[in-house]
Amino acid sequence: MIIAETIAQVREVIAGVRASGKTIGCVPTMGGLHEGHLSLLRRCRAECDFAVVTIFVNPTQFGPGEDLESYPRTFEADRAACEEIGVDLIFAPSVKEMYGEENLSWVNVEKISSHLCGASRPHFFRGVCTVVAKLFNIVTPDIAYFGQKDAQQLAVIRRMAADLNFFVEIRSCPTVREADGLALSSRNQYLDADQRRQAVCLSRALERARQLVASGETNPGAVIAAMKEIIARESQGRIDYISIVDNELLQPVARIDRPVLIALAVHLGTARLIDNITAAPAKK
């Protein structure tokens, strides 16, 4: 397994891989790898000839007062996990390597990024899109893998790749959950034991929403109210948002008469947890 810290190193390796006609897969991460990440790595390894993992805690997607400094950095454990899966290349650049002395060019995807997480974290998707665009240009993957847990990020990146004509296929992978339903996240480690117990209310609220939609509820307000009741009853969480949106542009729907994405973000202690679920009305 190759560990590269510079763009030049990656490009040299990728040139050789390209010359041999191999397909290249890429899993962009910020490290702190957990089973959710590893499921992406395994799929990449299974479907591509050459598997690349990027590990970079991207400062431009963090806002003032967010957890940039405390974000999990576990490179040695991440390296060992990648090696066990059979990853071919880890790209782990410094901030200076990725952004130079001053970065003046940014990538924005409008509309899709303005709602949900984009409303409370307006800086977030500009940082995500810019760093992912850079990684696509450096690694030039044939396929890139992202988790459905970050559904808005997935939609934004997919649209960016299409609008800017990146020669890459974006593949989504299912959310990986704990046995009790909590979606895996690097930020789960911020939870103490009581908060961890409470956090299950997110997936319980989402499952209740799916049941309501499947049973014929078409009023988004009624579904959201039922979700809020579960979160209030079972936790001390502070809701950032709960929203029911269409699956393409992620805009709020007035009526649930087609498949939708139901997404939420909840603060528990110092952790901001996100999750989502797809739901569809019963066929008539």
The catalytic residue among 34, 37, 115, 267 is 37
DSSP state of 252: B
Q: Which amino acid is at 244?
A: I
What is the number of alpha carbons within 13 Å of residue 129 lying toward its C-beta?
26
- 37 carries an active-site annotation: yes
- SS3 state of residue 123: coil
- The residues, ordered by sequence, that sit 6+ positions from 15 with a Cβ below 8 Å of its Cβ are none
Total number of residues shown for the chain? 284
Closest CA to 145 of 45, 73, 68, 228: 45
> What is the C-alpha separation between 67 and 144, in angstroms, rounded?
26
What is the set of active-site residues? 37
